[in-house]
Amino acid sequence: MANGPEVITARVQAAAARTSAAGSARLSSGLHHGAPTLEVRDRLTEGVVDFAARRALVSERLLSGSLQDDLQSAPEAFIRPRELLYDGAIQLMRSGDSWLAFTDVERDGPRSHLDPLWPMDALFGAGDDVIVAGTDTIRDVTTTHYQFTVDLVAADDRLLTGIEVPEGPLRRLRRLPAEVWLDDAGRARRIAIQNAAGDRQVWKVLELWDFGVAVAITPPGPDQVTTPDPVDLPRILMGDG
């Protein structure tokens, strides 16, 4: 059958590679409680990604609008957008004319599970239990909505760089509920993965659009990067230096 279970499963399992093959895109990511959509108030990150170079340049907040609603007041430093560069496995934050390195890892290693593109890596572990959940319009594009589970161990096997996983029971990491919305070309327009640790009602959500957009992300040179002492990080994040 043209739309039989095997065809549907193959389409979802090929989605991560097809999306990466687009070369570049604009992105938005965040956390959502309950149903895995991405409302404006849920967004933490906005920017662009160069898939081939494994780089994303984004504006990022520590707290979404939804989380701010749960607090009587939030420090301004938690709400103010910051410019971050995700360069492979390395995470950098701009500070004036320099960049602060928040990771001490090899660039060619797996992305942190805090990276906005982590759901894309998890999609490589799509299982064979795919079901069609309907159709939706995302940013004026008609998409087909699929539900399934991802196996992070399988994703680790399929990615040359592997995948970083949050701490949690292995069995849980092999059966994470996931959803994806694919366009007619089989590219992921939205990916949602249920939180692997902590609050299970939270979903990590990534949206992608403007595939093939011109992107030129130049990483800073070694003389522009500083690795702060971990004891200084709270002060830095609060904007005190």
Domain boundaries, the chain: 5-229
d(CA 131, CA 5): 8
Q: Region 120-144: what's the mean pLDDT?
A: 96
Question: Hey, CA dihedral for 56, 59, 62, 65, is it positive or negative?
Answer: negative
Q: Out of 62-76, 132-146, 156-170, give the one with best mean pLDDT.
A: 132-146
* Residue 1 pLDDT class (50, 70, 90 cuts): very low
Does the pLDDT at position 80 exceed 90?
Answer: no
pLDDT at 188: 98
* Residue 106 pLDDT class (50, 70, 90 cuts): confident
Does the pLDDT at position 240 exceed 60?
Answer: no
59 three-class SS: strand
Does the pLDDT at position 233 exceed 70?
Answer: no
> The domain at 5-229 falls in which architecture?
Clam (2.50)
* Residue 2 pLDDT class (50, 70, 90 cuts): low
pLDDT at 150: 94
Contact 71, 89 (CB under 8 A): no
Does the pLDDT at position 134 exceed 80?
Answer: yes
pLDDT at 210: 98
What residues contact 105, with CB distance under 8 A and at least 6 apart?
89, 90
d(CA 160, CA 155): 10
Alpha helix (H) residue ranges in the chain: 5-13, 15-20, 65-69, 76-79, 118-123, 152-158, 170-173, 233-237
Does the pLDDT at position 182 exceed 80?
Answer: yes
Q: Region 98-118: what's the mean pLDDT?
A: 88
* Residue 42 pLDDT class (50, 70, 90 cuts): confident
Does the pLDDT at position 41 exceed 80?
Answer: no
